[in-house]
Amino acid sequence: MRMKKYIAPTMQDAMKRIRSELGNEAVILNSKVIHTGGFLGLFMKKKIEVIAALDPDVPAPSLKKKEPSKVQVEKKQKEQPVKPKEIDQNVAKELQELKGMVQSISSAEQSKFYPEGLQKINELFIQKDISQSLRGEILSSLLVNYYEAVHNRSEEVLLQKAKDLLLEKISPLEFGGITYEKKYINVVGPTGVGKTTTLAKLAAECMLQKEKTVAFITTDTFRIAAIDQLKTYAKILDAPIEVCYTVEDFRAAKANLAAYDYIFIDTAGRNFLNSEYVNDLKEIVDFNHEIETYLVLAATAKLPDMLKIFEQFSIININKLIITKLDETSSLGSLLSLMLDTKKGIAYTTHGQNVPDDIKAASKDQLLDEILEL
């Protein structure tokens, strides 16, 4: 790869020099206005600085060939060839410099200069609602990889490389379903995201697949419909249910259901915005050692709204996220920013109302495939 900086009076002059030295296949990496000369900050001249690069497999235009002189031939024969290791080091240095320059350019400017294959990746990221900052970071790395992989630049290869880079970013997060290491399974979240239906799906999975006894506690007493809905699911599963209006009710329910393997708790979102209620509940249940808590969010929500909801509920320890309504949107890229900003992985995704179906434990690979539609 050849990379060179040009300074010229105008962009037209710079382009003439680039075409003359690097050819029409050169890629413009960056351009900006600079000021040179002058005295004490006065009388400076405005010029254009352009950084251009040429693929290593694209030959630069040759000037008029001249027959080498005898002296030049003898000198060339005496020159020792550059060692492959030295070439590798030079290329690696150039690539590192290229990556630094690309990352210094804003995402909007970068998109103007992406090669065709990377432009398609950028368009896909925009379509999937992947944030601008994350797009810029991934595409900067892809651009360097593009120049390294001279003979393998297919769209499939670039897309797989993009997935690998995203996978690397979310790899520290914990994914997957209920661990069944704790007796109480608690779901929290705002109204309308499908908490009650999701809780019924989790309880049905525990009973049918794990062959465990289950029971329900609901504190969502602000909506009568929510109680009736959970009672219906409890009846179908032949599981007891306790309705709790106060912390004292919760203490009694905990004692009444002690014989069951797992207790699934449905909550009212507004309860957890009341720190006094949460602090009282902490005296009865150890949120760190007795309960697995999952924050339920809808994939159709906007990222700022989801982050605000997470902040509101972070008064208690949230283990993982559950994302509902995947079947109601085709743009899932915001989930990447949600996970990276909250540092929480996803336990389950749901894509319908059917109980116990339409829910699956999440994995990193599966989630990225859904986001990118691979």
Domain ranges of the chain: 1-60, 88-171, 184-372
- Phi first, then psi: what are they for 36, rounded to 5°? -130, 165
Question: pLDDT at position 75, please?
Answer: 55
Neighbour tally for 81: CB within 10 Å: 7
Stretches where the chain sits below pLDDT 70 are: 1-2, 29-30, 37-44, 55-113, 145-153, 222-224, 269-275, 277-278, 280-281, 284, 355-356
pTM: 0.69
Reported in sequence order, the residue ranges of 220-279 that DSSP labels E, i.e. its strands, are: 241-243, 262-266
Question: pLDDT at position 63, please?
Answer: 45
Check: CATH 3.40.50.10800 for 184-372? Answer: no
Question: pLDDT at position 212, please?
Answer: 94
Q: How far is CA 115 from CA 93, 289, 351, in A?
A: 21, 52, 36
Q: In what order do the strands lie in the sheet with 45-54?
A: 2-8, 45-54, 27-36
For Cα atoms 121, 123, 124, give the angle at the middle one, nearest 5 degrees: 65
Determine contact, residues 55/1, Cβ cutoff 8 Å: yes
Q: How far is CA 104 from CA 143, 277, 322, in A?
A: 13, 48, 36
Question: pLDDT at position 228, please?
Answer: 87
- State the amino acid at position 75 in one-letter form: K
Question: pLDDT at position 262, please?
Answer: 96
